[in-house]
Amino acid sequence: MADVIDVINPATEEILGQVPRGTAADAHAAVAAAKAAFPAWSRTPATVRAGLLHEAANKIQAHTDELTHLLTVEEGKPWVENEEEIFWVHDTFHYYAELGRHERGRFLPPGDPDQINFVVKEPYGVVVCIVPWNFPLLLLAWKLAPALAAGNTVVIKPSEYTPLSTLRLIELGFDHFPAGVVNVVTGYGPEVGEPLVNHPDVPLIAFTGSLATGQRIAALAAPSMKKLHLELGGKDPLVVAPDVDLATAVSATAYAGLINAGQVCTSAERIYVHESIFGRFSEELADFVGKLRLGNGLDRQTDVGPMLRDSFRTKVEQVVAEAVRAGGKVLVGGGRPAHLERGFFLEPTVMVNVNHEMRLMREETFGPVLPLMPYSDFDEAIALANDTEFGLGATLLTHDARLVKRFYEGVKAGTIWINDPLTDNFAGPFGGMKMTGGGRELGQEGLDEFYEVKHVHWDVEGQLKEYWFPYGAGE
């Protein structure tokens, strides 16, 4: 059995490098290092931690081009998308550097003049961050920054597909941190991830990834009652109202569904268009998507890059083929581009004649496919949007404020986008409902995920209480 893991460029299928195939012993050593560093780090003043986080952000920003290049060759997204990812990474550390020193609890009104009541937020200890491959640095930053700001130490388990960018980020950005505060172990889930989840000195696991893996983590963590911070994917709807500007709506829909070749947990994977504009919208979307440039992300003209691996591409092809056999129609795309002989490329695809009986409309596709269905009235659109086990995000394209209100009140999803899909806000919590999991990242809520809450009830005078034993003393 090889003791290293090959890292492959999905655009060229070339081996970029190798990383150690970690073991349970490596996982245990990382936890031991983090546990040893925790007492001093948790007592480090918040202002000092803030300074260290700001320094990390500045170092990351100074190496934007290097990290962008590494992300592009390792994960496959176009350069512009990875450049944006690096911006979000360093600004996430700036954001939590400041938020982490803002407050650590609150005072409460006491029940008696001689009493003081307050709430203290305390770090958990060792936090394990298990990070996916599609936004490996961004989704790490959303966990690592608040965990450190709260005073926790961290062990990172990157995806085995994209470990190089994570290792380089930590090498460049965190060499000034005390030893043991930030640790990385590369390897496979069963060999490294599960020992980390099972470790008795790990009270909190933060994970982004598939529902099946999240359920496995939850089952492993349940006997120890560990805190779980989970984001388990989605099947996000996008609803197009009849009042939209067609060209704008087409561009927004293509972006929402095809960024990172559709390999985004918040990708718009179900498109519902009002029947009055369905025909024109479908034609214009197919025309728009057919003109997108497919290729290597290092080419600054590329719009859509490769899928991560051939097995992922094959799965999407199978789902599309199933839909076609059931009556679905491909308007554009659906095949492998003839002009790209190497790489795991799949043409961006637009489909119609689909329904909710198809796997395409029920399971997370995670590929460059835009399936369109018409709806007749807005109640139907909301019902279709909610017809999923997931609840991560949902998008509405309209300028009708009445529809907006009905949509954000009626749709069960953690983020509602109106006319600006897949845009986040550092201060706005991100996370899902239903089977997506209940964790929240970004905002105050994202910081609070990494705090335990303690209530202190203090009677300053400490006098004898009339309601103590014996109960019959005053009779």
Indicate which CATH number applies to the domain containing 412.
Answer: 3.40.309.10
The reply to whether 322 falls in a domain is yes
Q: Does residue 429 belong to any structural domain of this protein?
A: no
Q: Are residues 67 and 169 in the same domain?
A: yes
Determine contact, residues 79/27, Cβ cutoff 8 Å.
Answer: no
Catalytic residues: 231, 265
Residue ranges of the chain with per-residue pLDDT less than 50: none
Distance CA(139)–CA(207), nearest Å, equals 9
Domain co-membership, 244 together with 203: no
- The 8-class DSSP code of residue 334 comes to -
Q: Which amino acid is at 51?
A: G
Provide the β-strand partners of residue 391: 433
Is residue 141 assigned to a domain? yes
Containing structural domain, residue 69 = 4-232+437-458
pLDDT at 2: 84
CATH number of the domain that 213 lies in?
3.40.605.10
* pLDDT given at position 472: 82
Report if residue 471 sits inside a domain.
no
Examine residue 267 and state whether it is found in any structural domain, yes or no.
yes
Residues 80 and 40 in one domain: yes
Residues 250 and 213 occupy one common structural domain: no
Query: Could you give the CA distance from residue 366 to residue 317 in angstroms, rounded to a whole number?
Result: 11
CB 57 within 8 A of CB 87: no
Same domain, 86 and 118: yes
Residue 474 lies in a domain: no
Does 145 lie in the same domain as 26? Answer: yes
**222/292 same-domain check:** no
Q: What residues have CB less than 8 Å from 431, skipping those under 6 apart?
A: 231, 392, 414, 415, 437, 438, 439, 440, 441, 445
**Do 309 and 344 reside in the same domain of the chain?**
yes
Is there a cis peptide before residue 39, judged by omega within 30 degrees of 0?
Answer: no
Amino acid at 344: F
Residues 20 and 103 in one domain: yes
User: Do 269 and 126 share a structural domain?
Assistant: no
Number of domains in the chain: 2
Gap between the Cα atoms of 186 and 160, Å rounded: 7
* Predicted local distance difference test score (pLDDT) of residue 1: 65
User: Is residue 470, in this structure, part of any structural domain at all?
Assistant: no
Greatest pairwise CA separation for the chain in angstroms: 96
- Interatomic CA distance for residues 19 and 28, integer angstroms: 18
In a domain, 431, yes or no: no
